[in-house]
Amino acid sequence: MKVTEHFNNAQKTLFTFEILPPLKGENMRTLFDHIDPLMEFKPPFIDVTYHREEYVYKQRENGLLEKITTRKRPGTVGICAAIQNYYKVDTVPHLICGGFNREETENALIDLHFLGIDNVLVLRGDCVKNESRFTPEPGGHAYATELIDQVVNMNNGRYLDDEQTFKNSTDFCIGVAGYPEKHSEAPNLKADLRWLKKKIELGADYIVTQMFFDNQKYINFVNLCREEGINVPIIPGLKPLTTKSQLSALPNFFHIDIPCELAEAVEACKDNKEVTQVGVEWAIQQSKGLMEFGVPCLHYYSMGRSGSVRQVAEALF
């Protein structure tokens, strides 16, 4: 079932979450052990992130550097199929520009279609660690808008190798990312909203936001979107804090603010066990406020750990 169909059929706020594929060398049991504690809250779908290949340079005996490709978290397509088969819930694989050319993207979409996966979350993706700016693959997409256009073309039966329209079209529900505190590369929020509106005009069906810790920023973002004529569902993304180091790591990596009240409460904690409880309580209060605002779904970034998300879900669902 499509994500938007789940929203339309819901009688109350839905609970969903995002997972990371296991590290290379781990197995599906590792992942199931993370998902199992959250299934009693009946998530209608589970997001599965995609991580592009990374590379390192190793010096050889002759003194020359050799580029070695690594892939730390493979398997998104297979994981989505395994989850749907094992838990009988829908999955939303992330689809990114980085690391793929257009033909590889088309092949991935065909695989997802054959597996009965009805949803994709379309993202440009981040640049690799040793690059200062995003660089597309040769023959790949530079922007999420280009990737959306390819998915929409396939939904209309148009493939890369032929101008003919095929009857065996896909029918993906397309999600995209939104940034209540603006994308780090956007000059301002207004410019960021123009690009977001373009994604919707191209055919995206819903928006899921970057994590945030101040509900007012989400509410302001939704109101600005509506003023711009963006009328699709906007799903808030949430994450309970679990460590003191996240006070600097999350703002640095995700370009977000952490409210003074939350930061001071975390700084006063003696250890990360106390931080986790502060994070859970903050996420519960955030979630309650968002439910009162009328969001169709609360989407939690579990980051491979279900404990805190489970505590939040127990209080709400």
State both tokens at 313.
């879900």
Residue 62 DSSP symbol: T
CB distance 306 to 34 below 8 Å: yes
CB distance 160 to 102 below 8 Å: yes
Q: Distance between alpha carbon 305 and the CA centroid of its chain, in Å?
A: 16
Residue from 104, 63, 19 nearest 299 by CA: 19
Question: Three-state SS for 129?
Answer: coil
From CA 231, how far away is CA 228, in angstroms rounded?
Answer: 9
From CA 184, how far away is CA 242, in angstroms rounded?
Answer: 24
Is 264 tagged catalytic?
Answer: no
CB distance 220 to 173 below 8 Å: no
Q: Distance between alpha carbon 142 and the CA centroid of its chain, in Å?
A: 18
Active-site residues, by number, are 18
